[in-house]
Amino acid sequence: ARATGAQRVLGGVTERELQEHKGCWGDTKAVGGSTEVGTPSLLLPHQGSFPARYPRMPGTSPFCPLDPNHSVFFLVDNGTQGQVGGEASFRARLERYIAQQKVGTGGLGSIEIPVLLMLIGGDATMFRRVSEATRASIPCLLLGGSGGAADCLARLLEETSKCGSLGGICCFTPLIPPQVERIGELRELVTVYSDQEGLEEFETVLLKALVKACQGSHEASSYLDELRLAVAWNRVDIASSELFREDVLWQPSLLEGPMRDALLGDRPALVRLFVENGLDVGQFLTWGRLEELYMGAPEASLLCQLLTRRHGGPAEPSPPPDYLSLERAPPDGCLPLVAHILRELLGDVCAPFYVGLHPPGQPPNKVSLVDWAPSYRDELSPNPWTDLFIWAVLLNRREMATYCWEMVSEVMMEGLGGALDSRGGRCVSAPPSQCTHSSRSPPPGVFGECYRNSEPRVYKLLVRRSQLWGSATVLQLAHQADARLFFAQDGVQSLLTQNWWGEMDRSTPVWQLLLTFFCPPLIFTDLITFRWSGHRCQMHHRGHPGRVGRFWDPDAPVPHVPRHFWLRRWRQFWGAPVTAFLGNVVMYLLFLLLFSYVLLMDFAPPPPDGPSGTEIVLYVWVFTLVCEEVRQGCFVGTQPLAQRVWHYLQDTWNQLDIAALLLFMLGLGCRLSPWTYESGRTILCLDFMVFTLRLIHIFAVNKQLGPKMIIVGKMIKDVGLFLFFLGVWLVAYGVTTEGLLHPHDRRLPWIFRRVFYRPYLQIFGQIPLNEIDGESPRGLSVQGIWGHMFGAECAKNLEDVFQLCKVFSLLPSPSYTFSKVQGNSDIYWKSQRYSLILEYHSRPTLAPPFIVFSHLHLIVKRYVRKVQSAKGQHFLLDLSEVQDGRLLTWESVQKETFLVAQARQNRERDTERLRRTSQKVDMALKQLSEIRESERRLRTLETQVYDGEPGNPPAAPFPVRKVRSRS
């Protein structure tokens, strides 16, 4: 009862009637006659108030006190005194009333309350009780081995199971009540259970007893309540073996209610069972049912809290951005609220979910929810498994999300989308699943299976635009979800390396690339190998006449090849991201060299004598850097301008670039004024340090330097806390030594210099011994000399202790951080590599200061000629409907192959072997109990044969003798 939530209603209310089961009925209701209770006057206060105070009083009265193990008492007074059974009619009416009530998942009243009579022991009067229950179609459960009427009735039903009638025994033995014959006529409503039959859970016995009462019918509607009860108790084993039989045909319409309850109750095994038995999710999931699923979220879940806030709860967040405004939403609908939540979690990487068409004249990126009418609730969802997957991820239901992920068509997109949803949910709240690989990426086995099968198809799968996910790609979702383990896989890194080298062969040595960069005519020689020129003829002979974007496709037309060989080679070399990276590195080093030369050798006086020619070149160079930062922040992407600027400012290195440029402008303004000339020079010198730090990000794309820079960055964070304590100790030591060594100095600049600068120098060994150990300063008294000496010694000892603490605390921390981060630095760098390659892929071909010509070319090309960039095809691929269907079918086949292999591995695990061994032991025990039962029946037959032999007096059957002995 505790496991199933069942309510127990017992026939006894006193301690005498339940003394055998005392202490086992924690939350039990009892129905009994009030005339059987001792001191009933205490239960009826004069004021008529309740609850009544009923103390336990010892005594020898024939009446017994109430049993304190019950929680509720129904006391019935029929006017008799000391007679048992007067409450039978009231209990029957109570049971009929309870059976007419309905409860269900979500409070919609979908399950009728089942009533079952369980007989434990009992006397001859219980035959009438069981007979009345069977006539009312109430299932009965007899607990074998409990003695009394339960054992008698169980034996009678067992021994007459072949003949099917108890009439002969009732005529032979008039001691058996006539109600037993009526019980035998409805024996399908009676189930006998004995603890020797097996190790089944008691809730399994109850459910089997309820199912057995319906086995006389072959209509599926007769089993509907039992199916809903199996869903409520999560008994998929009973549902699959007892309810979904060959002789029972389930219509899909009958399974819709249990399917809804299984989804709300998080029963993935039952959902799988319903789908396998004919339920079409495409015909089941409407927008109205999807809203019911969202509104049925538990109150303690994060999704329910977010929906409450969006609906106008107590914690109302900031209003949504203007590009996602709700013009008109249904009064009780929650899908618009879910659309807002998904927009916040997914960001702008894909189009919003659950939105209508944008109004005419409105840009597609400013989608608004319009034309929502009440009739939309009856419309079917075009992508039911995707909607269920998102719902399961938002509710953090791992197993349900895993099953929905197995049923979707776009495996990689769904897995990364779920990872992004669950990651955003964790950020809002302070998990899904195997399908999102610890909520960071889809299962690596699926992608590995696809990569081993076909490398070109995997490349297309990573960059194809998904119409289901708002024209987003797998790489975009993985980057948004920070799926580091996904980026660390060989297939993704192979694609990034291929796009990094462009049309050039990825095995090209670096020295050949450098030589060709500084000597461009070598492009037209065979020094650099290009994949397109080498593979074109081969692919043509193999029957592949074309490609889509950067990936070969048999259905694509023959690509247009430029007529001029030199023009094609020129574009292939300078259009590669590795060439853009090399140009930026070389020109940035030249920029730092020019900057240092100006600061050290050619920093002219303020106007009119300056600036010099090299300074003007430097200023023009910085202006081109400003133009490039403006392009990256305001003209990259398709989002609104505010969103593009906001995303640009989120990058730490972009913040460093802005700080360097602002410092340069400030230094330039101060340098041009005669009054702030030296200040401007100082600011420019500091700005040179900031520009030099920018080299760290440039070389982070290197395979060897990138992971090491990540380790250094993590170690700097650990050292930062120690530097804080170092500053505190230095200030304490500086103030102490200044007060002891220079008590009469009132020069504020010198005081600050000695307080902050002297302790810093003493860390490196520059200790002023002439001040500490020299003669006493002029004007000091003897007491001041002693205080000066002892105070200095104490300060030196304090500094020594600090040095020891620094050594023993600073050295272990970096070593621990290094060992901890070293294993994950390569994975972290591979995930950052996508952003770096994408950045250089989107940059113009020329590097500053010549980038200004590329900017002019882009302005003319984009805004005058309205021509889109061809570089977008490297990371964005649009496929036709036929090509997209073929690719998704191939992906689904690889997913099924992976799932079959994974299931085979799970069966071979130790835990699975142990489970199967346990099942075999249970089956052996069940067979052993059947053998014992057969032996017992054989002994009974031998006894009956002996009693029927001539000369032996006829004896009544064993159950009758047992009842006779009790009477």
User: What DSSP letter does each residue of 905-937 carry, written as one string?
Assistant: HHHHSHHHHHHHHHHHHHHHHHHHHHHHHHHHH
pLDDT of residue 665 exceeding 90, the answer is: yes
pLDDT in the model for residue 419: 73
* pLDDT level of residue 233 (50, 70, 90 thresholds): confident
Average pLDDT for 577-589: 91
How far apart CA 431 and CA 301 sit, in angstroms, is 12
pLDDT digits over 259-290, tens only? 999 999 999 999 999 999 989 999 999 988 99
pLDDT digits over 851-892, tens only? 999 889 888 887 887 777 666 556 788 889 899 999 999 999
* pLDDT level of residue 13 (50, 70, 90 thresholds): very low
pLDDT in the model for residue 195: 64
Q: Are 550 and 873 in contact (CB under 8 A)?
A: yes
Most confident of 223-232, 626-635, 898-907: 626-635
* pLDDT level of residue 106 (50, 70, 90 thresholds): very low
How far apart CA 28 and CA 218 sit, in angstroms, is 36
Using only C-alpha atoms, the chain has a radius of gyration, in whole angstroms, of 42
pLDDT in the model for residue 372: 47
Residue scoring higher pLDDT (539 or 862): 862
pLDDT in the model for residue 312: 61
* pLDDT level of residue 588 (50, 70, 90 thresholds): very high
Asked which of 373-387, 465-479, 550-564, 852-866 is least confident by mean pLDDT, the reply is: 550-564
Give the angle subtended at the CA of 809 by the CAs of 808 and 815, to the nearest 5°: 95
pLDDT in the model for residue 118: 85
* pLDDT level of residue 364 (50, 70, 90 thresholds): very low
pLDDT of residue 370 exceeding 70, the answer is: no
Tokens 């960071």 map to which residue?
440
Per-residue buried b or exposed e for 884-914, using 16+ beta carbons within 10 Å of the residue's own CB: bebbbebbeebbebbeeeeeeeeeeeeeeee
Residue scoring higher pLDDT (251 or 699): 251
Query: Which of helix, strand or coil describes residue 37?
Result: strand
pLDDT in the model for residue 842: 84
Residue 827, judged by CB atoms within 10 A of its CB (0-12, 13-18, 19+), counts as middle
pLDDT in the model for residue 19: 42
Give the angle subtended at the CA of 574 by the CAs of 570 and 576, to the nearest 5°: 125
Contacts by residues 67-70 (CB-CB < 8 Å, ≥ 24 positions apart): 67/12, 67/13, 67/14, 67/15, 67/17, 67/18, 67/22, 67/30, 69/18, 69/22, 69/23, 69/24, 69/25, 69/26, 69/28, 70/10, 70/13, 70/25, 70/28, 70/29, 70/30
pLDDT of residue 629 exceeding 60, the answer is: yes
Most confident of 240-244, 721-725, 887-891, 947-951: 887-891
Residue scoring higher pLDDT (574 or 74): 574
pLDDT of residue 466 exceeding 80, the answer is: yes
pLDDT in the model for residue 676: 92
pLDDT digits over 476-513, tens only? 888 888 888 888 888 999 999 988 888 888 888 888 99
Asked which of 95-104, 596-605, 670-679 is least confident by mean pLDDT, the reply is: 95-104
pLDDT of residue 365 exceeding 50, the answer is: no
pLDDT in the model for residue 531: 77
Question: Do you find a cis peptide bond into 177, omega within 30 degrees of 0?
Answer: no
pLDDT in the model for residue 617: 95
pLDDT digits over 178-218, tens only? 777 778 778 788 888 876 655 566 777 778 888 777 766 66
DSSP class of 877: B
* pLDDT level of residue 324 (50, 70, 90 thresholds): very low
Residue scoring higher pLDDT (762 or 858): 858
pLDDT of residue 964 exceeding 70, the answer is: no
Asked which of 164-173, 509-518, 825-834 is least confident by mean pLDDT, the reply is: 164-173
Query: From its phi and psi, is residue 275 left (phi > 0), alpha (psi between -120 and 50) or beta?
Result: alpha
pLDDT of residue 461 exceeding 70, the answer is: yes
pLDDT in the model for residue 627: 94
Counting residues of the chain whose pLDDT is more than 90, the rounded percentage is: 15
Assigned token pair, 850: 């010549």
Asked which of 544-548, 576-580, 823-827, 894-898 is least confident by mean pLDDT, the reply is: 544-548
Tokens 């990872």 map to which residue?
419
Run of H or E including 97: helix 88-99
Residue 519's Cβ-side half-sphere holds a number of Cα atoms within 13 Å equal to 9
Give the angle subtended at the CA of 181 by the CAs of 179 and 184, to the nearest 5°: 115
Average pLDDT, the chain: 74
Q: Tell me the C-alpha to C-alpha distance, in Å, between residue 574 and each of 3, 25, 287, 353.
A: 70, 83, 51, 40
pLDDT in the model for residue 959: 46
- Name 32's bridge partners: 75
DSSP H helical ranges for 502-640: 510-518, 531-541, 565-574, 577-600, 613-634
One DSSP character per residue, 635-647 reads SSSSS-HHHHHHH
pLDDT in the model for residue 757: 81
Q: Which of 533, 835, 791 is nearest to 697 (CA)?
A: 835
Residue scoring higher pLDDT (512 or 57): 512
Average pLDDT for 629-638: 85
The structure's pTM equals 0.72
